[in-house]
Amino acid sequence: MVRASRALMSIVEEQAADERAWVGSGIQHRNLAPASLVEQAIQRGEGALSSTGALVFQTGQYTGRSPEDKFIVREPSVETEIDWGKVNRPFDPARFDALLDRVMAHLEDREVWIQDAFGGTDPAHRLPIRVVCERAYHALFARQLFVKASPDELAEHSPEFTIIAAPDFHAIPERDGTRSEVFILLNFARRIVLIGGTLYAGEIKKSVFSILNTLLPGRGVLPMHCSTNVGQAGDVALFFGLSGTGKTTLSADPTRGLIGDDEHGWSDDGVFNFEGGCYAKCIRLDPKSEPEIFAAIKFGTVLENVILDPSSREADYADASLTENTRAAYPIEFIANHVPSGRAGHPKHVVFLTCDAFGVLPPLSRLTPEQAMYHFLSGYTAKVAGTERGLGAEPSAVFSTCFGAPFMTLPPRRYADLLGQKLREHQAGAWLLNTGWTGGGFGQGQRISLPHTRALVDAIMNNRLAGVDYRVDPIFGLESPTSCPGVPGKILDPRAAWADPATYDTQAHKLAARFIENFQKFAGVDPAIAAAGPQGVDQ
């Protein structure tokens, strides 16, 4: 196993151009182009081509992230920085080293695929990374999702972190100290992420996000789980939200330039994408309502767990027999109106997306700065079935701090303070947009239609709500417009959309009580922020 450990060090810590070889006995493939990776994946039986040329593969048992199997190695460099707890679980350094040796021994004689890239489009803040895989399609995923290095940059590439994806290695919890056969281990001292036991490619993507969430706040950069686009006048909009709330769909607007669909940083110079691609949910994908995403599914795109017709090879996006969490990974240049630089100025609008499974929040609310901070810290939404292991057939109402708690490694106040500072400095407007249910909760009401949601977003971006009347919700204290072009008035008033207003009141009070209970963990926050949520609700 010593030889295997040295093999890893030659990849992780190599600095000189003449030290770029894997010293194991297996075949290595470095920085192959998408065509070669697709060809090798098919030859190896990893996937198949769809009728549009996308590479389709199945992730087997694990069709979503495994958050309970993610750990951070507890060592001096991060001991006092990490917000240790249920999300950021500690892992013993000695056990990490032992597991690392076993994984590298597993890879020693195997074919491996290596991709060098960056996390971040801003040269001042980007992170050089290396992804080492034992599956060709994982290399293609990394190639399409991360920021590509130019030929000159590849010649000088010196990774600061290496992500090792070994899905065919399964941990033994009693021996390795993991929770299950799956493990996602971040080691900041050794600059390594170790992933095993799962084929789900999203673990690779989100591990880099977790690294950036740890490193960037210390540089005054706010890492954000949001999509971003920009209008012709340079007006930048941010869309915060968890998976399934509409980040990718709403940012893919043909009238605005797409900066990115999921992860960004907000620096002193403006916003920048962490990625070079998009990772869109494609369950029930409709070419009429989401034409940009539909057109991006072509040769070079990776489709996860999408079912193909055996004869025509056409994708059946309505088929959720494997999972609701079907995905399409493609480079951002597959979106016609993308912003090539992946950067833009400071935001004019900040939109928090929530999928309210109770059907009581207004479709749109204008937020004061204090309300913006309250809802950023609360991060209320409903997780959509299939996004993670352990979710049932129905959405589960949760509070995910910063609209991305599973990926935030530092105490929430670090991110919230940065957001508040930037909102005030750049005078950005803030909104709460509900993409969930109306006229009743899940199973009784209806999901707010995408055309109505798009009309609300369009009104925000084009300043069509400045002169309309607003009503104040007596339970949540939220200001909601009473009219909006293209949206029925009944939709805008959630209580009026219910057949029985008394039932609405009961459900609204229950949800408000949950907000109050959840916010108790933020003791010591500015009293003005604490007072910006529901008050005096019977629990």
Arithmetic mean of pLDDT, 396-401: 84
- Residues for the chain: how many in total? 539
Please give the span between the terminal C-alpha atoms of the chain, in angstroms, as a whole number.
57
pLDDT at position 357 is: 84
155-191 pLDDT, tens per residue? 999 999 999 999 999 999 999 999 999 999 999 999 9
One of 157, 205, 206, 452 is an active-site residue; which one?
206
The total of other beta-carbon atoms located within 10 Å of residue 485's CB is 12
Q: Where in the chain is the domain with CATH 2.170.8.10?
A: 279-334
What percentage of the chain exceeds 70 in pLDDT?
A: 92
Per-residue pLDDT band at 383 (split at 50, 70, 90): low
Whether 329 has a pLDDT exceeding 90, the answer reads yes
Query: Is 238 within 8 Å of 262 (Cβ atoms)?
Result: no
Whether 387 has a pLDDT exceeding 50, the answer reads no
One of 69, 253, 261, 262 is an active-site residue; which one?
262
Cα-based distances in Å from 19 to 62, 169, 189, 192, 203 = 36, 27, 22, 19, 28
H helix intervals, 179-221? 202-215
Where is average pLDDT lowest: 2-16, 121-135, 178-192?
Answer: 2-16
Whether 528 has a pLDDT exceeding 70, the answer reads yes
Query: Is 455 within 8 Å of 442 (Cβ atoms)?
Result: no
One of 74, 102, 327, 514 is an active-site residue; which one?
327
Per-residue pLDDT band at 282 (split at 50, 70, 90): very high
Whether 3 has a pLDDT exceeding 70, the answer reads no
Determine the 3-state secondary structure of 41 from DSSP. helix
The total of other beta-carbon atoms located within 10 Å of residue 21's CB is 12
Q: Which residues are registered as beta bridge partners of 223?
A: 265
Where is average pLDDT lowest: 81-85, 244-248, 272-276, 324-328?
Answer: 244-248
One of 162, 214, 243, 378 is an active-site residue; which one?
243
Whether 6 has a pLDDT exceeding 60, the answer reads no
Would you call 225 a catalytic residue per the annotation?
Answer: yes
Arithmetic mean of pLDDT, 360-381: 95
Would you call 66 a catalytic residue per the annotation?
Answer: no
Q: Rounded to whole angstroms, how far apart are CA atoms 249 and 333?
A: 16
One of 50, 59, 63, 65 is an active-site residue; which one?
65
The total of other beta-carbon atoms located within 10 Å of residue 521's CB is 11
Determine the 3-state secondary structure of 489 from DSSP. helix
Would you call 262 a catalytic residue per the annotation?
Answer: yes
Kindly tell me the sign of the dihedral angle through the C-alpha atoms of 219, 220, 225, 227: negative
What number does CATH give the domain 279-334?
Answer: 2.170.8.10
One of 74, 125, 135, 247 is an active-site residue; which one?
247
Whether 17 has a pLDDT exceeding 70, the answer reads no
What percentage of the chain exceeds 90 in pLDDT?
A: 86
One of 126, 205, 225, 348 is an active-site residue; which one?
225
pLDDT at position 190 is: 97
459-471 pLDDT, tens per residue? 999 999 998 999 9
Arithmetic mean of pLDDT, 409-420: 95
Q: Rounded to whole angstroms, how far apart are CA atoms 63 and 383?
A: 15
One of 245, 248, 267, 387 is an active-site residue; which one?
248
pLDDT at position 395 is: 54
pLDDT at position 377 is: 97
Would you call 65 a catalytic residue per the annotation?
Answer: yes
Arithmetic mean of pLDDT, 514-532: 93
Per-residue pLDDT band at 386 (split at 50, 70, 90): very low
- The correct CATH number of 222-276+341-530 out of 3.40.30.10, 3.40.50.300, 3.90.228.20, 3.40.50.2000 is 3.90.228.20
Q: Which residues are registered as beta bridge partners of 114?
A: 30, 132
Q: Which residue has the tokens 């949520």?
A: 533
The 3-class secondary structure across 383-430, one letter per residue, is ECCCCECCCCCCCEEEECHHHCHHHCCCCHHHHHHHHHHHHHHHCCEE
Would you call 247 a catalytic residue per the annotation?
Answer: yes
Arithmetic mean of pLDDT, 422-440: 95
Cβ-count burial of 294 within 10 angstroms (0-12 exposed, 13-18 middle, 19+ buried)? buried
Q: Rounded to whole angstroms, how far apart are CA atoms 363 and 353?
A: 10
Where is average pLDDT lowest: 321-325, 388-392, 442-446?
Answer: 388-392
Q: Rounded to whole angstroms, how far apart are CA atoms 228 and 461?
A: 13
Q: Where in the chain is the domain with CATH 3.40.449.10?
A: 2-30+70-219
pLDDT at position 10 is: 53
pLDDT at position 243 is: 77
What number does CATH give the domain 2-30+70-219?
Answer: 3.40.449.10
Instruction: Give the distance, in angstroms, between the CA of residue 93 and the centroid of all CA atoms in the same chain.
Output: 28
Q: How many CA atoms lie within 13 A of 369 on its CB side?
A: 13
Enter the pTM of the model: 0.92
pLDDT at position 359 is: 92
Q: Are strands 257-260 and 192-196 parallel, antiparallel or unpaired?
A: unpaired
Would you call 447 a catalytic residue per the annotation?
Answer: no
Would you call 191 a catalytic residue per the annotation?
Answer: no
pLDDT at position 388 is: 47
97-120 pLDDT, tens per residue? 999 999 999 999 999 999 999 999
Q: What is the mean pLDDT of the chain?
A: 92
pLDDT at position 381 is: 86
Whether 407 has a pLDDT exceeding 90, the answer reads yes
Query: Is 446 within 8 Å of 363 (Cβ atoms)?
Result: no
Run of H or E residues at 35? helix 34-43
Type of residue at 339: V
Query: Is 106 within 8 Å of 3 (Cβ atoms)?
Result: no
pLDDT at position 397 is: 73
Type of residue at 99: L
- What does DSSP assign to residue 505? H
Would you call 70 a catalytic residue per the annotation?
Answer: no
Q: Rounded to whole angstroms, how far apart are CA atoms 142 and 136?
A: 10
